[in-house]
Amino acid sequence: MNSFTDLPLIAPLQRALSAANYTQPTPIQAQAIPPLLAGRDLLGCAQTGTGKTAAFALPILQRLAGEAKRAAPRSTRVLVLTPTRELAIQIADSFRTYGRHLALRTAVIFGGVGQSPQVDAMAQGVDVLVATPGRLLDLMNQRLLRLDSLGVFVLDEADRMLDMGFIRDVRRIVAAMPKSRQTLLFSATMPADVLGLAEGLLKDPVRVSVTPPATTVERVEQRVLFVAKADKRALLVQVLRDPAMRRVLVFTRTKHGANKVAEQLAKAGIAAGAIHGNKSQGARQKALADFRAGRLRALVATDIAARGIDIDGISHVINFELPDQPESYVHRIGRTARAGASGIAISFCDAAERPLLRDIEKTIRLTLARPTPTAVPHRAAA
């Protein structure tokens, strides 16, 4: 499929896509849009950056445009449930962009702000509601929002929902929906608990699985530093002494590890914060705002928490620990070299991580640069 014009999308959607310079569908769009237009449930394995939002938003908008009905007061025809405020805002913006030539109402609901404008937005009913679980449940419990006439439910970033402890909230929200509905579940990974959740939500789903292209961003200079595991924190402090490292995203494998690294950097006098699933939404928002504004030089993140971070001007990405999956490496380093800028990715590799490095280099078809020991003094890994 070479063009969006090959898809059976109505003229108002085609016009919006053309105005946004969308020409060729991504793999997930080409695979997901036809069965979704046919009303099928869908289980999608896809990360941010694969074109996932358009893959579900376009068929949903076409369905809404073809139905001769309006949303009842305090209700919605479509619910997209997503784990964070940032993602909710991005998804709602996408629905408005694609639906610009359709007379449909979109609203966004999330916590951390006053509820009055959100209650007002729901009063007359909306066609598309994008929400985070906590605030949505709050409004449902106050009888300010109903889901009894819902036609389509999208659960986005399901693995991140579980990681952030939202599973009970999700189940309570689903219990308030009609059983007869179209359901879509997207997740970047498919652990057993996500598959179990999908089994309870989906009816005979189409399965779509795509990964980001296993090619790295052309403008990213990639290096690896070999270091003993016990010396990684000291090496990180040393590396961050370089003033060229203006805005640095540091990746760890675990939430606990992210906290420890951020604390170590702060003790060394380097302004740093951590972002992961155990942080409150308010704490995540503050860390992102401080990082974006330059009040933090380093932001330490886990893979799942870093999804949805779209900040220009990240000069360096440091893999404090190598990821288990080579695709995650590609996703991590793509956080730098955005908006036409160049960037540098540095990976710390201890002895136990050598096999992971080999897998990464095999996947990206590139041998990472190895700076000479004199250029980066540290104790080498055994």
CB atoms under 10 Å from CB of 341, counted, come to 12
Average pLDDT over residues 228-248: 93
Check pLDDT > 70 for residue 6: yes
What pLDDT digit, counting tens, does each position of 263-309 carry?
Answer: 999 999 999 999 887 777 778 778 888 998 889 999 999 887 666 56
220-364 topology per CATH? Rossmann fold (3.40.50)
d(CA 199, CA 152): 17
Superfamily for the 4-209 domain: P-loop containing nucleotide triphosphate hydrolases (3.40.50.300)
Contacts of 294 (CB under 8 A, 6+ apart): 246, 247
pLDDT at residue 183, as a whole number: 98
d(CA 345, CA 10): 43
- Whether 32 and 42 have beta carbons less than 8 Å apart is answered as yes
Q: Which helix (H) or strand (E) holds 108?
A: strand 106-109
- Do 4-209 and 220-364 fold alike per CATH? yes
Instruction: Give the global pTM.
Output: 0.65
What pLDDT digit, counting tens, does each position of 27-66 carry?
Answer: 999 999 999 999 999 999 887 667 899 999 999 999 999 9
Residue with tokens 């941010």: 48
Domain boundaries, the chain: 4-209, 220-364
